[in-house]
Structure 1
């Protein structure tokens, strides 16, 4: 094979916290909203792993990456306010990537993830303190994908409109009690767009790879596998007319802008989301009653078709 750069990571410890965002300028009021951008309020974990980096990419001039990573002793804050929040405690996350490519083309930065499989588990979902809050139980997820893509490009939503009322311009909107959103402004194309396409594969029993979600409660001394669990088993996408064609996947597009200030209002973080898929399948919903019992199917063969969901969120601080 070709020569490559080998990167090893051993017991790399991460611990950070975010107070919030300032939107508009450095003197703006602190606010939440980073959660919707994929950032945790607080996080600490230990990272181990190995990575191989080669030249090439999808078109011969980018980057190829193979990686095996393990996160342990993790604690992640999903959101918090006034010192209390929602936390994922005692987290482990093992993920593997093969033949991922990264290139820069006319669409922006393009990542094609090749084959990806992972196992994630949070032993406790806590409300309140990071390690002392009441536990809601355990959640575990597995992923199995092939050919998923992420494209990051400049330019956001490119719109101006009145939210929460009606009005043809900022003055009319504010007079009617609404919020005028202007993501175009004088500079036009500033902002960020992230397009993510996930191709979820059917389970590979021989290699123990699948897409699944498990929620477990009533455990013995908090130990995984000792309580009652519900599992969404073998989740996969298809193009709808048969299970042998799987190219559309789940398309998720996010735009992020700082909206220009309207009449008597400050600049705001403006986020749009669009999620669509042709068909999403859940092979079975299983119930597990304790470690010694066998799984029983509660539901079999769930299909959701032709979903197209769009949301627009304007995020501003509470005065």
Structure 2
């Protein structure tokens, strides 16, 4: 196994070049009883190139340097022996680490460049003898500190900026050993009782490239940085109690390389993301493990060199307890559990190939990745007031390409910006990428499914209820072929958060509306789905605390339009079931929102009305208290009227229009496949919401509102047949409980059309209005057994 580091050239600091021997008088004043202290100064170091060579492939870091932020500052290191341990104290002067370019040999593209400002300090107490007590090191009562970090990643002249980054690591009963692993000797770090406290103050972008030195603008000088450099995606805080071990050994998936074998545990930890509101897990615990380990190899194919990260097996088991979303005073969601199992199965494997250069239309820098994944036998669980629900039998696999670039809108940037293929009918007003961090998706083909819900225990009978999630476009099974882009910009609708622009293209895919364990159900076959988002945002709001405004995760869709074209709605088998015909759904929305907050329905009256148990019972209802945990979802859809008019004797084809088309009795081609547009159609055309205000008929603030309270709770169930028919099941069975309300002030439909393949389109109804609806429903899905 060979490792090669090439330093071209290594520039020694003047400090090293000026070292001199101490004379006798100087040595006479040195005492070892209190240890040794050293102070260092100097301009730092630099290297023209640092290269890692493995299996004939080379990864190079060009123009590398480490320098003090202030050349006159000093670093201090003290060594002494304390209670049979070697104590090392280090206080570093603020440093700057720079890499001008990260390349792979033979490629004209690069991963970009980076610069980091930081201060490092540590206090270590070391003792000989590792976990075995014979060889290695034992580390106790030690502290490592990385503070005042500002990190810049530069891609094609634009900067991604991480501000206010810091980590404090406390080590106790930790050991460093050389052990025999599954593929040879490994360096093993046993974490013992380790605590990691960290935070990220903010993440921003500078798309003006007005801060080339990566430093604060000189007072009085013009500030040419992009305004978004001061905006943030939010703040993160971590307080993790870590255990287990981490092993590092030589040899990748083949030949030379690196193998990392994690067996890490997390217990009684805290995770918090903060915007104006908070997303916090007050009791975070879990396990990350891999038997075969994660491998890192440098390889090459017809497209050039790449770094390959692979894992044949990996398990992530995590519980986020005491979840609070929105306001810190909110009721809790309960706990969210993840048990994700990644496992290679034949051609379905888990790997990531990192390539220099991002999207081909975004210049020569950036990050590209080919990926493949396979997850099986996994689950996601929700525990609400001690009652648990599992999304059981979760499986997913697929492959595709992802790119990461910092980009700028060509229409605003002018010459020198990189053009883009996205935009569709907007091309005249959108001549390139959007401003921000762009994630590109190319030929991402995959599938996911889950068996169903289990309530009470992970081996409880499977039951229905997943159909209720289709309102949020979460299908119980989905085969997809995805292309598109998502561009993120720091700063939400208010304060921190993010704004986004996106285009997604799903082609020749298949999704289930409802499906049983045999794969039979209601399927959308031959699905093509185009979605476009403009100026959307994602925030966490604290809310007002008044009424139902508890804040939470707020997704604003901005201006949104989409077209869902389903060749066959099938009942039964996904590909051979009876076809109910073709369905087309076009949507055009502005200002639609989705909000998610912790806390479910609480106490409510089922089957009646009343604000307390007595009033509910008197109305013929049943009073249920579903506890103070759960999830609340608020959806508001504001459908916009297409003002371009309604063409006579034909169906409007505008992209930005709300329309439903049901087509049957289509002609077929030589292969027996239906030909769209050749059958009879029923068209609900140009529907939209309004506030029903006679003084302002164009006002459209209220929209169509759907409120859902999701809980896991017991409910009353009657026995349908048998000797005990009519009596209640005892004890009350647990179920997936959904309390829902649908409201709107006014929904309008311009016209309903009948379309004959020969005779053309005719209007059957015109000018339809439905006003002031308030529909309430309560459903609890329980297993049938």
| TM-score between the two structures when normalised by the length of structure 2 | 0.37
Given the alignment of the two structures, is residue 87 of structure 1 paired with residue 87 of structure 2, yes or no?
no
Task: Say which SS state the counterpart of residue 224 (structure 1) adopts.
Answer: coil
Aligned-residue offset at 1:80: 2.2
Identify the match of residue 466 of structure 2 among 34, 41, 53: 34
Answer yes or no: is the 8 Å Cα contact 2:690–2:701 preserved in 1.
yes
Q: Which residues of 2 match residues 58-207 of structure 1 at below 5 A? A: 58-81=493-516, 83=518, 84-106=520-542, 107-159=551-603, 181-184=624-627, 188=628, 190-205=629-644
Counterparts of 1:119 and 1:95, CA distance in 2 = 7
Task: Say which SS state the counterpart of residue 130 (structure 1) adopts.
Answer: coil
Q: Please give the per-residue CA displacement for 1:254-305, whole angstroms capped at 9, x wherever unaligned.
A: 1100004785133111101111100000000001101x54310000000000
Residue in 1 that maps onto 2:761: 295
Counterparts of 1:180 and 1:304, CA distance in 2 = 32
Distance of aligned partners of 1:27 and 1:160 in 2 relative to their CA distance in 1, 3 Å threshold:
farther
Given the alignment of the two structures, is residue 11 of structure 1 paired with residue 454 of structure 2, yes or no?
no
Counterparts of 1:271 and 1:139, CA distance in 2 = 28
Task: Say which SS state the counterpart of residue 451 (structure 2) adopts.
Answer: coil
Aligned-residue offset at 1:123: 0.5
Counterparts of 1:287 and 1:152, CA distance in 2 = 40
Residue in 1 that maps onto 2:692: 240
Distance of aligned partners of 1:298 and 1:28 in 2 relative to their CA distance in 1, 3 Å threshold:
same
Q: Please give the per-residue CA displacement for 1:48-72, whole angstroms capped at 9, x wherever unaligned.
A: 0011100011113110000011001
Figure out how many residues of one structure are paired with residues of the other and give that number: 304
Q: Please give the per-residue CA displacement for 1:134-189, whole angstroms capped at 9, x wherever unaligned.
A: 1110000100011111111011111255669xxx79xxx9xxxx9984411xxx2x
Residue in 2 that maps onto 1:286: 753
Counterparts of 2:778 and 2:455, CA distance in 1 = 17
Aligned-residue offset at 1:42: 1.8
Answer yes or no: is the 8 Å Cα contact 2:736–2:782 preserved in 1.
yes
Counterparts of 1:32 and 1:58, CA distance in 2 = 37
Residue in 2 that maps onto 1:49: 484
Given the alignment of the two structures, is residue 227 of structure 1 paired with residue 679 of structure 2, yes or no?
yes
Answer yes or no: is the 8 Å Cα contact 1:163–1:181 preserved in 2.
no
Answer yes or no: is the 8 Å Cα contact 1:53–1:64 preserved in 2.
yes
Structure 2: gaps of 5 or more residues:
1-206, 208-225, 227-434, 543-550, 646-653, 669-673, 717-729
Task: Say which SS state the counterpart of residue 200 (structure 1) adopts.
Answer: coil
Q: Please give the per-residue CA displacement for 1:63-97, whole angstroms capped at 9, x wherever unaligned.
A: 00000110011111111235221111000000100
Answer yes or no: is the 8 Å Cα contact 2:562–2:655 preserved in 1.
no
Counterparts of 1:293 and 1:236, CA distance in 2 = 28
Residue in 2 that maps onto 1:253: 707
Task: Say which SS state the counterpart of residue 468 (structure 2) adopts.
Answer: helix
Task: Say which SS state the counterpart of residue 767 (structure 2) adopts.
Answer: strand
Q: Structure 1 residues 277-286 or 72-81, which shifts more?
A: 72-81
Task: Say which SS state the counterpart of residue 682 (structure 2) adopts.
Answer: strand
Larger-gyration structure (1/2) = 2
Counterparts of 1:146 and 1:256, CA distance in 2 = 27
Counterparts of 1:124 and 1:250, CA distance in 2 = 28
Counterparts of 2:447 and 2:751, CA distance in 1 = 38
Identify the match of residue 741 of structure 2 among 274, 299, 305: 274
Counterparts of 1:147 and 1:162, CA distance in 2 = 33
The root-mean-square deviation of aligned C-alpha atoms, in Å, is: 2.2
Counterparts of 2:656 and 2:715, CA distance in 1 = 49
Structure 1: gaps of 5 or more residues:
none
Distance of aligned partners of 1:181 and 1:125 in 2 relative to their CA distance in 1, 3 Å threshold:
same
